[in-house]
Amino acid sequence: MANKAIFKSYPGKLLPGTDTKNAEAATAYALTQREALAQYAVTGTLNSTFYADGAEQLDAVMYLALEVEPEFLAKVAIHAAEKGHMKDMPVTLLALLSGLQSDAFARAFPRVVKSGKMLRTFVQVMRSGAAGRKSLGTRPKKMVQAWLERASTEQILRAMVGNDPSLADVIRMVHPKPATAERKALYAWAIGRPHDQAQLPDLVKALEAFRRDQTNPIPDVPFQMLTSLALTREQWVAIARKGSWQMVRQNLNTFARHGVFEVAGVAEQLAARLADPDEIRKAKVFPYQLMVAWKMVDPAVPHVVRDALQDAMQVAIGNVPVVPGNVVLCPDVSGSMSWPVTGYRKGATSAVRCIDVAGLLTAAFLERNPKARVLPFENDVVNVDLNRRDSVMTNAEKLAAIGGGGTNCSAPLKRLADEKAKVDLVLFISDNQSWMDARPNGQASAMMVEWARIKTQNPAAKLVCLDIQPYATSQAVTSADVLNIGGFSDAVFSAIAAFAAGKSGTESWVKTIEDIAL
């Protein structure tokens, strides 16, 4: 028998060594340029995060944008807008693309800029100089003109809500060439210039009539265009009934203040809309947006409406996959996860923290996979008692309440390896900035070492590292059994399900982007 002291196994000896440092200056693995750009696209908001400010994020994105082909950059922008449901980052990528010699910009623009708000944000980014110039330039100007000409009257009116720049600023800047007398009158009205009243669209005529006399019917325009007027409770009811799904969700407290729910039947009507599966899917709502609406709703909002938000949550998480076998969920509850998930920006900071999102996604997976095991971690694994029969909201709040401490991503894997546990899928939801378990540069990370131990007992096991912050490093290198993926929209669910089922490889996330047809 060979001497075991000499020939014993050394976990980590043949594993890939770390090749970079993370935001805590601890050793880590760098994502590929395509992985990193995709991660920034679906998690970056250009606001300050726990470890980096918005300028540092922009610098990283600008560097990565120049390192990939223009066509891939265009596809990332489209993916971030259509699947990630992001707003600022897609138009930032589009602005960077506008300076490259490629027709990909013109092909991507209509798919990224779907609303007047995104149009105004694109112009704002271009004028800021962040994309390399402070004017629009010929190609971007033509695309903005084309958007204005394609837009309906309703879209133009929605685009007029907001400033810096206002839609009037945009119109003055690009000088659109109206194809009809009606559109000519609309542009002139929007920028406050003399116009032919008779040529205005009917919707604008109705708005002007209502502004002069509130006894006229309420026009079907963005409610922000009416709130400066002295509206009656009945008029607020009409606004609520006409509002979009997202508008209703965002203004429940406003409706309560104006007595909307005091009118018989209105609460039930709005609750039915909020819980309507078709409307929820059409609104592309983030599960965490429903969570914050539920948490922030005023007690004056009736229970039937608050309950509808929980019903809507069940629809929003409906495509969380059911994964056969032994599933382990590892939400990061360390101190860095207390930062707002969309970053800090004065006057516009989300109340939802990274830990809230981690808790919510964990609770959603737990509901769909009731036999799953939950191992929250910070310095070490944190014990938490979750009732699988509790609502997603309740379990998410329990997880979010235990935050604090350092980050040790290897801790849950070490516990599983020590127990020789049966494992089929391990899902981490983290910012991946582990430092308490740091090992010397060039050696395998502690997380990879512990994963190798688990694999000796579970050869077919798979590891998914879901990153919800834009830092472009991981503690587990992408390999045949390790998937690094970023984002917090429901688009990540299908990627995780496909990977767990063996229907796609580790390149599936990036390949999904590469397969987008321009």
pLDDT per residue rounded down to tens, the chain (518 residues): 444 443 344 455 578 999 999 989 999 999 999 999 988 888 876 666 665 667 788 888 899 999 999 999 999 999 999 988 888 889 999 999 999 989 999 999 999 999 999 999 999 999 988 877 788 889 999 999 999 999 999 999 999 998 889 999 999 999 999 999 999 999 999 999 999 999 999 999 999 999 999 999 999 999 999 988 889 999 999 999 999 999 999 999 999 999 999 999 999 999 999 999 999 988 877 777 788 788 789 999 999 999 999 899 888 887 788 888 999 999 999 998 988 776 665 655 666 788 888 898 898 899 888 889 999 999 999 998 888 888 888 888 888 888 789 999 999 999 999 999 999 999 999 999 999 999 999 999 999 999 999 999 999 999 999 988 888 899 999 888 999 988 877 678 878 888 888 876 656 778 888 999 98
CA–CA–CA angle 58, 148, 278 (5° rounding): 80
Q: How far, in Å, CA of 161 to CA of 228, rounded?
A: 13
pLDDT computed for residue 47 by the predictor: 61
Query: Residue 347, Cβ neighbours under 10 Å: how many?
Result: 4
SS (H, E, C) 42-76: HHCCCCECCCCCHHHHHHHHHHHHHHCCHHHHHHH
Residues 431 and 50 sit within 8 Å (Cβ to Cβ): yes
- CB within 8 Å of 351: residues ≥ 6 apart: 292, 295, 296, 340
Rounded (5°) CA angle 320-337-59: 95
CB-CB contact of 445 with 432 (8 Å): no
Peptide bond into 194 cis (omega under 30): no
- List helix spans (H) across 422-490: 446-457
d(CA 445, CA 477): 9
Quick check: 90 and 487 in contact, CB under 8 A?
Answer: no
Rounded CA-CA distance 423/45 in Å is 35
Residue 456, C-beta contacts closer than 8 angstroms, at least 6 positions apart: none
Separation between Cα atoms, residue 403 and residue 469, nearest integer Å: 17
**In 3D, which of 513, 436, 512, 426 has the Cα closest to residue 476?**
426
* Per-residue confidence (pLDDT) for residue 292, from 0 to 100: 78
Cα–Cα dist 452/376, whole Å: 20
Report the pLDDT value the prediction gives residue 2, as an integer from 0 to 100. Answer: 47
**Entry pTM:** 0.85
Q: Report d(CA 286, CA 275) in Å as an integer.
A: 14
Give yes or no for a contact between 52 and 484, defined as CB atoms under 8 angstroms apart.
no
What is the number of helices (H) and of strands (E) in the chain?
25, 8
For residue 21, what pLDDT is reported? 94
Would you state the pLDDT for residue 447?
97
Strand 473-474 relative to strand 27-30, pairing: antiparallel
Report how far residue 231's alpha carbon sits from residue 416's, in angstroms, rounded to the nearest whole number: 61
> What letter does residue 229 receive in the DSSP assignment?
S
**Cβ contact 453:48 at 8 Å:** no
Q: Write down all domains in the chain, each with its CATH number in brackets.
A: 14-25+320-514 (3.40.50.410), 86-220 (no CATH)
Give residue for tokens 């009116």.
157
Q: How far apart are CA 209 and CA 406, in angstroms?
A: 60
The residue with tokens 């609750």 is: 271
**Residue located via tokens 């005529």:** 205
